[in-house]
């Protein structure tokens, strides 16, 4: 099983991104992501044996003690750079709290033999992949003319364990487990009358 942890998007953000993609797709022949596949990857796990799924799920469940994370979806960019791009993305800003969640997941999975991530976490949604050099001037012009590059805000209150399976039209992502955040114990005790 090929697995990763990630955040799903609320419908209103997904709808705004759908409108954006409908506007931009005709501008460049790229491998555009289907809107239903858009998600924020927190930790790529890779191949994992199905019989060890309970251990993985238990480790992930122990990391859900935290407050919801205010998050904004805004800004467009290119990885690794605008001159030789391989990925066209929209930014996701969850501040230090989202970075802390990623670090906790990374550290919590290390005892299971899953390697720690050595790259800096950059929250984003992959809108398109650029497999070979493509003419991008029309796309760049369409981006420059956008009235806004803000696509909504939401609170991250859970993350998921996803399975990724290759398909003829691209990967198919299936949610295997859900990890809703629970307020830390101290906050719950303070809230009592």
Torsion of CA 120, 24, 85, 87, to 10 degrees: 40
d(CA 159, CA 66): 12
Q: Are 55 and 73 in contact (CB under 8 A)?
A: no
Concatenating the DSSP letter of every residue in 119-172 gives SPP--EEEEEE--S----HHHHHHHHT-S--EEEEEEE-EEEEEEEE--TTS-E
Residue 105 tokens, joined: 């997941």
The catalytically annotated residue of 29, 39, 83, 84 is 39
Catalytic residue at 84? no
Catalytic residue at 124? yes
Q: Are 73 and 63 in contact (CB under 8 A)?
A: no
Longest dimension (CA), the chain: 63
Please identify every residue annotated as catalytic.
39, 124
């Amino acid at each position: 099983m090929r697995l990763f942890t990630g955040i799903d998007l609320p419908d209103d953000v997904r709808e705004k991104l759908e409108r954006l993609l409908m506007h931009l797709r005709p501008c460049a022949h790229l491998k555009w992501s289907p809107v239903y596949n858009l998600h924020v990857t927190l930790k790529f796990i890779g191949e994992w044996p199905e019989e060890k799924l309970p251990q993985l799920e238990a480790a992930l469940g122990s990391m859900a003690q935290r407050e919801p994370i205010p998050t904004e979806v805004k800004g467009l960019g290119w990885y690794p750079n605008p001159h030789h791009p391989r990925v066209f993305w929209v930014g996701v800003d969850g501040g230090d709290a989202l970075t802390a969640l990623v670090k906790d997941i990374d550290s919590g999975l290390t005892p299971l033999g899953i390697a720690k991530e050595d790259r800096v976490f950059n929250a984003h949604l992959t809108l398109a992949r650029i497999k070979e050099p493509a003419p991008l001037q029309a796309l760049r012009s369409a981006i420059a003319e956008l009235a806004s590059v803000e696509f909504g805000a939401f609170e991250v209150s859970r993350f998921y364990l996803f399975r990724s399976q290759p398909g003829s039209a691209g990967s198919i992502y299936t949610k295997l487990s859900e990890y809703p955040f629970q307020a830390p114990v101290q906050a719950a005790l303070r809230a009592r009358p």
